[in-house]
Structures are given as structure tokens and as C-alpha cells.
Amino acid sequence: MMKVLVLCEKADAEQARSILKMLHTLEISADAFQIGKNWRTDKHRLDEIMGPATHLVSVYSMNSAPSAWLSFVAGFALGSEKPMILYRPSREPVQAPYLAPFFLVLSLEDLGSFLEAEKKEWTDVAERRSARKELLELGISIRGDAFADTVREGNAHGVDLFLRAGFPPDTRDKKGVPVLCIAAREANRAMVDLLIDAGANVNLRSDDRGNTALMDAVAGGYSQIVEDLIEAGTDVNIQSKDGQTALIIAVGKGDVELCKKLLDAGADPDIEDKLGLSARKYAKLFRNEALINMMPS
């Protein structure tokens, strides 16, 4: 969890209180520490006090600018890679050269905006780390192929972990097949919906067949998955490597129900494949009167 520590001179305690009040309003965990003249010999060492914090905020004023503790805190922040923000409530002092690596904010509003953005990023990073750790604990390697295998196996919890770990929902396996196509080929509607909700591109074509997930679902006769993909906005007229559309595949199967769904969704019956045949021509070739009559003239 993100935790902010506000550091200040005793003379700047009011500024620190204002910062804490603002951070409390933003629901950001924070504490403050006043640094006295004897900070080097105090019972609790300054580095130990800063240790649990994820972010440091130092009140930068005419009181703290000449202090030795500020340079100590700067060195600690750099060494521990903890972000430090200098909050300067007035025009003075000028930012010292050794403090150039640190952010300088001039108002509570700017400080709040900065830390809100940091909180979101920190939370996202923490969630990715947690998900990756859980995958490793489950014995699942953190690779794109492992993500594809997890989709193929229908492991919804594992797929959710991969997505939380930062893997894009358009990840492909070694053969260049998008995980959404894999889910469609496996007839796993729940997995298809999970990937769609995660933002998967429903129009990606696989490298092996040149099929979209819609084409794969039609080829398998998976009516509900076809409906879900159409509802998600898939392009029903994309062509495969052979020039086939989802409608041509459905006609080849003689699937009247799927043909109707595709036609209702705007499928063009006159797009020709590489053989120069369209869905309409195939329907006539197969003498399928039900399909011929279904297609608009």
C-alpha cells in the first residue's frame, strides 16, 4: 500500500498539517515527522523512520533549506529509489542544485494531483507484482505461451492473473494465434467473454489461418460465442487468407441459423474468396434453397 511520510522543521508544522489533511481527504495513507536539531542522535534514526514509507514529501522552506537533514533525506531517497517531492509553499527558497532530481510543487492542489497519479500507478504496479507472484506460486511461468496455454486449458483464474499481471488480452501463442481465437476454438464462451471484457481486439486475425475469432466460432458452430462477438462489434466481413468470410464458412457448413445471425449483423453475401466464389454462389452451388432465399437480392 502507498504510504506517504511528510518531513518538516518544527517551524513548518502547520504546512505539514495542511498536507496531511489534504491527503486524508484523498484517502492516501500519510504520516508526518518533525525533525529537530538533534536528529542525528535521536533514539529513533531518521532512516528507520523513513523506511516504511513509499513516498517522501519534504516541506521546502527558508527553515529547512539550510538544514543538514534535508541533504540526508535526499541521499536516502536516491539510494532507496523512493520518490521524494519538495513542497514549497512560498516563492523562496530557490531549489538547490543537489535537489534537482526531485519534483518541486508549489501548491497543495498540485501536490494532491501528483500523489493521486502516483497512487494509481503504485496500485497498478503492486497488483501486477502480486499477480505475477501468485502465478509463480501456482507453478505457471510468466510468458506469453503460458498465457495462451492457460486460455486453452480454460483456467479462468489463471487468465485473470495474467491480465492483472499486465499481459495484454491480444497476446498470441507461438503460432501467432490470438488468445481470443484460442478461446473461440475451444468453445469456451466464458473465456471469450472474459477476454472481450478485458479489451481484446475482436478483429485480430490469426497467423495460421488468417481467421478472426468470429470465423473460428462459426467454423465450430458455436452460436452463442458468435452472438457475443457480434455484440462486441466484430467486423463480420473480414476475409481469411483464402478470402473466406464468416458467412462463406457458415454456408459451407449449411448452418442456416448462423447464416441468419451473420446476415442480420450486416454480412455481405457477395464478397468473393480467392476461388471467385461468394456466400451466395456457394449456396447456389450446394443448391441450398433455404440459404439462397435468406440472402437479400
Confidence (pLDDT) at 73: 96
Q: Taking a C-beta distance cutoff of 8 angstroms, is the pair 294, 258 a contact? A: no
- For the sheet containing 103-105, what is the strand order? 29-35, 3-9, 55-59, 84-87, 103-105
Confidence (pLDDT) at 222: 98
Confidence (pLDDT) at 181: 98
Confidence (pLDDT) at 162: 95
pTM: 0.70
* Chain position carrying cell 539510494: 79
- Per-residue pLDDT tens listing for the chain (297 residues): 899 999 999 999 999 999 999 999 999 999 999 998 889 888 889 999 999 999 999 999 999 999 999 999 999 999 999 999 999 988 889 999 999 999 999 999 999 999 999 998 888 888 998 999 999 999 999 988 999 999 999 999 999 999 999 999 999 999 999 999 999 999 999 999 999 999 999 999 999 999 999 999 999 999 999 999 999 999 999 999 999 999 999 999 999 999 999 999 999 999 999 999 999 999 999 999 999 999 998
Confidence (pLDDT) at 289: 94
**Looking at domain 169-294, does it have CATH number 1.25.40.20?**
yes
Domain borders along the chain are: 3-124, 169-294
* CATH topology (fold) of 3-124: Rossmann fold (3.40.50)
